[in-house]
Chain A
């Protein structure tokens, strides 16, 4: 089956699946899950904030893997996947960086603090914005893609730093509620809603990625036509 048709089928499929997941997710967050005792209703930001961070890590992870693949196999399609995934990763990191301060203001009484978790997340955002800028400034395709792949591989080093920041250093950001040792843990209903929300965001990410890749296919087709016309 041609790649165009596969991308189209997957994109359409993800629209339906993600829409259903989204409706159930909103019901879970606003109706089903109990209100957290100490923070109150504002804690419901958690169900969008944490999955967005998870998806941002996943998106940058995909960029990292496909950048390595591109450097080893030199297939332009690997570079395209890395590029598209980084773009989506920036969107989700922006979600994390905007919902975080909105949650922090009533709970910590400040919009922002320069603690390790928050600062490393901001640095992560800047790294991948830099990656996108590098892509747009380097004219020649193969060379620009090579530079960007190296940049993305080095930039990915910040992802484990962001993840481990509140484990390694004392931060105002709360300690991990999942996989954080004996002190951490979530109420089973809250855990279910969090995992469901992660699944929903995974659906949104995959939909965005397939849609974005389809656009890349159209762009490649356009470049091909332009080349043909230039030589004819």
Chain B
């Protein structure tokens, strides 16, 4: 499902190049879940961004469902994300000028789904926000905003769900609620889940773990499945 070969990322820090992710191979099979852990600045979010095609690797290739996304232009990448990848951010990133329901509607409208309205309503219900759909993000609590973000990520029923520290900005009760939702999705819908987190306890609830340190895998703390035979 997700297949990374020799993927690295180097950025310019001032005038000197800085490698934030060293060449890395990674495979996540369909329906599996992976936790990426590590301290701040270890390259977790960078790796997640590369998987989502939000960023371009400096070397290597990223394949999603057999498609090499490093060869796609911005618009085709956007279409691929719309169809195959749902994304949940630490800071929610809802569009402030749209209501909760409209935020959920957007990916389906882009994809041109006819059942967008009814599906958005049922997703809002599914994440426990019945009756709050017409509120603007500024009128919702952090936990509620993150649940809207999850509903939005699930809108097009994507086979992959990526989450960047989804509980990092929430209190423990809300965090647990959000985590429960994500794990449910992985189990019930067989959605591949890749999650970035600081929380080792949380990470242990997923099928596999990749620990990063200074942009490199830390084999001692990682617990990975065997790569798919090639």
Partners in one complex: no
